Structure 1
Amino acid sequence: MPQTITGYFDTRRDAEMAVERLVQDQGLDRKRVQAMAEGEDNSSGTVVSGADAADAAAGDTPDGVRRGRIVVRAEVEDDMLEAALASFRDCNATGLTPDRA
């Protein structure tokens, strides 16, 4: 029976890595994974990282920077649940549900 895992990420990079691990390492169909801003505003996370770091260092605040966390949701079958949860944890997910720590 499919279950939905939800995790929250402070950086866009961590969210992207979680998606990559689920799809490439775990073989999950990309159509079963969603990544989105936590709120209504566009966001690249709560912590400046990656390409946004250079802009922030220069004093620029690109649209979307630090307006909220990134949410990743994945629908997984029971036999993949533990591996998928590990992928989320390895990529620094917080507020993870279902949480089988």
Structure 2
Amino acid sequence: MVSSNMLSRKFCEDPSWNRLQGYTSLLFGVNKTNDYIDISRNLFEFNLSRVELSQSIMWLDINPNKIDGAMPEAMKDLLLQFSDLSYNRLCGEIPVGERS
């Protein structure tokens, strides 16, 4: 059932505030061109350390879900304007990159 929604092209990039589950392979990948990913406030369960991130991502909101694992090392190379990874099951160190 998808009533009370305004489905459009953005649906693939901003399915926030639902009860969606599963893996979000449609959104993540080195060759994807999404610059805005908001899957917040859902029930997604996957290992973030296994996700390949596109260099085009500038906005990443994955709070709160049931996402585990470590932050991918590739995150240090992203030019993020916003990120919220809170209220998940993440572990490990935060990747730190060098910017000039």
Q: Which has the higher helix share?
A: 1
TM-score greater than 0.5 by the shorter chain: no
Please classify the TM superposition score into its range, dividing by the shorter chain length.
under 0.3
Rg larger in structure: 1
Larger RCO, structure (CA 8 Å, separation 6 or more): 1
Q: Which has the higher strand share?
A: 1
